[in-house]
Amino acid sequence: MTNKETETESGLPPWIRPDIQEQISWRDQDIVISVPVKSGTTWTMNIVFQLLNAGTSDFSGVYDEVPWIEFLNRPDQALQEILDRLDAMPADKPRAFKTHSAPPAVPFFKTSSGKSVRYIVVVRNPEEAIVSLKPFLEKHTDEWFELWGVPKEAMTSSSFASFYEGIIKEMGMQEMFAGFMAAWWPLRHEPNVLFLHYADMKQDHQGSLQKIADFLGISPSQDQWQAIREYTGFEWMKAHTEKFEMNSSTTVPVLQKGAMIRKGKLGAAREDGMTDEIAADLRTSCEKICPDKQALDWLYHGGPIR
């Protein structure tokens, strides 16, 4: 089976292969950053990287430091090449990984399993995530679509309404948000899981940094905290967007400049095309996928975990 042939079988773009995660040789102290698309993934990756490295601007790209473990950088890339790269990461400090998967696609190890793997789970109001997804897909380069033999029009659309109807609904992308929540919510109180909401993180940057640091057992000095706050702030990341665009390991650029760090705003879905009608349809679809009202309300609004 070629990597391109997986597209129709999985319903995902052919460059995303969740099955890779089943083959990883997991280590104690591994950190899994599990976040749906356009829900704060890159920000959380950078937070974890900065905490692990005491606050530094001396890195070329966060994707070199925190690998995306479902991602193929070219159609002929063997899965073993990815696994070898992960195995070659230094063993003297924790590895951190990005995934858009929830269990069971990403293996979950309870603390009683004998494996000490930690999971940072972040979710975002799906209305906001979906309106952010449209321009993100549009900013994938023509060269990237051509490399994979995927017509760009198969994943983009002229208006948000047509994008929602023809791509989100047609491809069942509501599953990426509601299905993700349904899978993770029962595990929210596990001691090796930290559950965060994008809105809460935006409203309390320092508090969120502290929660993640405490979860990882990291105690930065005062000077290190100052650097970590600066380098994880929206302004710094926006000014250094080239560090967050995952183009360094691919044969052609994946994204146009500025694609990964866009607005970072809360409550602005209506500015980008979300309507009451689409929002109601999305909520109905999400309720079918994730019937737990408490879980779904938290997906939309965040707040204290119960």
Give the pLDDT mean for 225-246. Answer: 93
Q: Is residue 254 assigned to a domain?
A: yes
Q: Is residue 176 assigned to a domain?
A: yes
Name the residue among 114, 103, 118, 124 with its Cα closest to residue 186.
Answer: 103
28's tokens: 């104690």
Q: Is residue 243 assigned to a domain?
A: yes
In angstroms, how far is CA 25 from the centroid of its own chain? Answer: 21
Q: What is the pLDDT of residue 263?
A: 62
Give the pLDDT mean for 262-276. Answer: 75
Amino acid sitting at position 57? S
Q: What is the pLDDT of residue 261?
A: 66
Least confident window among 19-23, 132-136, 188-192, 225-229: 132-136
Q: What is the pLDDT of residue 163?
A: 94
Q: Is residue 306 assigned to a domain?
A: no
The tally of domains found in the chain comes to: 1
Report pTM.
0.94
Q: Above 90 in pLDDT, residue 216?
A: yes
- Residue 217 pLDDT level (bands cut at 50, 70, 90): very high
Matching residue, tokens 């925190």 = 66
Domain that holds residue 297: 6-301
Q: What CATH number did the domain enclosing 218 receive?
A: 3.40.50.300
Q: Is residue 199 assigned to a domain?
A: yes
pLDDT tens digits, one per residue of 141-187: 999 999 999 999 889 998 999 999 999 998 889 999 999 999 999 99
Least confident window among 1-5, 23-27, 93-97, 186-190: 1-5
Q: Is residue 40 assigned to a domain?
A: yes
Half-sphere exposure of 302 (CA within 13 A, CB side): 19
Q: What is the pLDDT of residue 2?
A: 42
Q: Is residue 1 assigned to a domain?
A: no
Calpha distance 254→80 (Å, rounded):
22
Q: Is residue 232 assigned to a domain?
A: yes
Give the pLDDT mean for 19-39. Answer: 97
Alpha helices by DSSP H, the chain: 6-10, 41-52, 62-65, 79-87, 126-138, 142-148, 160-163, 180-184, 198-203, 205-216, 222-231, 234-239, 276-289, 293-301
Cis peptide preceding 13, ω within 30 of 0: no
* Average pLDDT over the chain, rounded to an integer: 91
